[in-house]
Structure formats: C-alpha cells, structure tokens
Amino acid sequence: MKKEEKASISIMRIICISIILILISGIGVMAVNTNLKDVKIILQNGYEMTALTGKETVSEILEENNIVLEENQKTIPDLEAQVNAGESIKITDKSYNEVQIANISEEGVETSLEQLLENYAPITEKIVVEQVPIPFETITKNTTGTTQNTKNKVLQQGKDGLKEITYKIKYQNDVEIEKTVISEKVITEPQDKIVQVQKTVTTTSRGSSLPRTTSTGASGEIYKVTAYCSCAKCCGKTTGITASGTRATAGRTIAAPARFAFGTKLSLNGKVYTVEDRGGAISGNKIDLYVSSHAEALAWGVRYLPVSVVK
C-alpha cells in the first residue's frame, strides 16, 4: 500500500507542475498577443508611476489603473489620444491654463500658432561691410564785405570722400531686426570746394565803351565764420541764454574768442554784431554767428570773411 500511495503522490505532483507550466505559457502567449507596453503616468502632485498595459488610448489606460480625473483636471495628451510604448501621460490642472489665457485676452494680445513659431525662429547674424560717400563742403571766402555787385571764383573744386562702415546685422526669418555699427574707416578724405567772392567795379575807359571789371578787398582780418542756433544740436541746450547772460538774438549776437570782451562790436559781412557768447570750439580766428533756425545755420555753412572791431 505504501508503494502505491507514493506512486499516486508522484503522479499528482507531475500533473500539478504540468498545469502550472501550461498556465504560465498561456499568460505569456496572452501578453504577446495583447502587445503589452510600458507607459509612464505623471500625477498632478508630481508622482510618477509606470504601467504595463495593452490599452491604446489615454482614457483606457487611466481606467485600467483606476485613475479618475477631477473636474478641474486634464491630461496631456487628450483622453482620446493614442499612447505608444515609452510615452507619458501627464495629469495637470486645466483651470490654471484657462486663467493664463484669460489674462492674455484681457491684455488684448491676439496671436496664432504660426506667429508663435515665428517668434521662436532662429536668429542669424551677419557681418556686412558697406562703402558710403562723404559729401564735401563748400567754403566761401568773401573778400568784399557785401553781397552786392559780386562774382564768384572757384579756387578749388569739391570732391566727395569715401568711408567704409562695418555692420553687425541680425536676421530672423530673413528679416533684418537689428543693425549695429561695429567700426568706421575713412578711405578717402573729402576735398572741400572753395569759392572766393569778389566785388566787381564797372568803369569805362577813355576811347572805349566796353566795361572793365576789377576786384577790391575789404579791410579787416579774415576769420572762419560759422553759424549756430539755440537748438540742442548746436548748443547742447535749448534755453537760448548766452555766456554773457543775455538772450541770443539773430542779427545781433555773435560768439567770439575770449580776446574779444563781451559787448565788443564787430563788423562782419556789412553788418555790426555784438560779442555776447563763447564756445568751446571758438578760438583763434573763428567766429560763430547766431541765426534764428538750425536750417539757416546749415545753409550758412562755412565762410571766410573779413572782421574788424567797431570803435
């Protein structure tokens, strides 16, 4: 009897082991057939869990893992989106995003996905070298003291100069968004045009009716005369108050070197002016004439005129 019982027990063991192996094989076959995959689920509180699932959509995976969304929660991606192996499902607060969108709307900001993508377009930089002309100036040497009955004689023709400017230019979507000067280099200096103004005197010689033109010069030392107004470009301020404390007046005020005391009367271009102002660049044989506008100052340019003290 004992031998028969032992034999029966051995047979039972073999049968149980076989059943277990069959069940394990069946589960493996089922796992293969259902295409199980690893999906990471990130809860709103930051907790992460990995789920082994054969489900396809976000909602199915959450349901399988007994995860229920609250009313103010949403998932990224959406509930109906399909999830592949290795991808994540993130649960977040949808009300926060809605508040942010509402705030942007209140500020009146309207944009589109295409515009947002444009803003994130890469920025490229280029170094560009350009050559630009330097305009020459016309300098007038007036030796007459007046503009009546005069003629002009060109002593030197003007010629533009040339300079090279190096820029750093930033582009976004092939559109220039910033242009910065890195360096400037003068290649050729401009050559000023010099014009001499002479007074003409018409006389008739004996035995001839043809006119004869002669040149006469005006008395006084030749000064380089420029013009200025009360704008910030000319003076760095706009008060119109001179260094002597007077208010600058066109046709009266003149800025002269310190050797001319305030109140000194100077004869210039057929008119008498009063020294009422100074200037950092007013030294030597240079005088600055006050005019009523910046346009008039530019039109005056640079002139070389005789200047004398009125006693």
Is 205 a residue whose pLDDT tops 70? no
Joined together, the tokens standing for residue 23 give 């069940």
d(CA 171, CA 157): 42
State the DSSP H helix or E strand holding residue 119, giving kind and residue range, or none if neither. helix 113-119
d(CA 261, CA 155): 35
Is 141 a residue whose pLDDT tops 80? no
Joined together, the tokens standing for residue 118 give 């444009």
pLDDT in tens, 47-97: 888 888 888 899 998 898 888 888 888 898 888 999 898 899 999 887 655
Percent of the chain scored above 90 by pLDDT?
15
pLDDT in tens, 271-310: 999 999 998 778 888 899 999 888 888 988 888 888 899 9
Percent of the chain scored above 70 by pLDDT?
73
d(CA 33, CA 40): 21
Which string of DSSP letters, residue by residue, matches 47-68? -EEEEEE---BHHHHHHHTT--
Are the CB atoms for 91 and 51 separated by under 8 Å? Answer: no
The domains located in the chain, with CATH, are 14-96 (3.10.20.30), 136-158+191-309 (2.40.40.10)
Q: What is the DSSP letter of 209?
A: -
103/223: higher pLDDT: 223
Amino acid letter at 145?
G
